[in-house]
Amino acid sequence: MNRLGELERAVMDVLWARNEPMTVREVGRELADRDLAHTTVMTVLDRLAKKKVVTRAREGRAWRYRPAASRESYVSELMFDALGQTGDRDAALAAFVQSMDGKGAEALRRALAEIEQPRN
């Protein structure tokens, strides 16, 4: 992963951990051990806002940033895409096995049981 991607991730982790809107300075303070320039943190937050994964609101002279959604809901969104449950998205990803209904899964379970314990 490139450096910017890694920074974005670290910044998101900070925002998710604090669970309240934070300013650029506050985020930078949380990442003090990385010794980041103020403008670097600002650039990263700006990129995240452009990707619509953080939202920002002005408070006085500073912007306050917060995650647009929780980590869990992003994981769900990824899995939702992956299992092909959204109609027009199937061309974007190629899932190893598309999700299927209960009956289909039951047929596979039976087949699996037969292979693993062959009847003699």
Structure tokens at 101: 């209904």
Evaluate whether 44 touches 11 at the Cβ level (below 8 Å): yes
Query: Is residue 59 a contact point for other proteins (CB under 8 A)?
Result: no
| Binds other proteins by CB under 8 A, chosen from 31, 96, 118, 119 | 96
CA 93 to chain centre: 16
The nearer residue to other proteins, 62 or 100, going by C-beta atoms, is 100
Q: Which helix (H) or strand (E) holds 57?
A: strand 54-59
Binding site for other proteins (CB under 8 A): 1, 5, 8-9, 12, 51, 53, 71, 74-79, 81-83, 85, 88-102, 104-105, 107-109, 111-112, 115
